[in-house]
Amino acid sequence: MDNIIQLYANFMTPGRHYFYFVKSENTIVLSPNYEIIRFKTTNVFLNSVIVKPNIYEYDQIALVKG
């Protein structure tokens, strides 16, 4: 996703989401490809991404009766 593709999702609510990757059973890693920020007022650092609302541009709209 390298900052080229804008992030849109139907299954996630729009807004800022925090995450990390699990490398093995006891190891988590942060990705340098995403913003690394301090989670709220804790000493925990997480990756974050902002999900924008999914907006479709329709070419035409058809009304169906019945």
- The pLDDT tens digits of the residues spanning 11-23 come to 778 888 888 888 8
Task: Give this prediction's pTM.
Answer: 0.56
Whole-number pLDDT of residue 1: 44
- For range 55-66, the mean pLDDT: 66
- Assess contact for 19 and 28: CB atoms under 8 A: no
Give the pLDDT confidence of 10-58 residue by residue, as tens digits: 677 888 888 888 888 888 888 888 899 998 888 989 999 888 876 766 6
Domain extent at residue 37 = 1-66
What is the C-alpha R_g of the chain? 18
Q: How many domains does the chain have?
A: 1
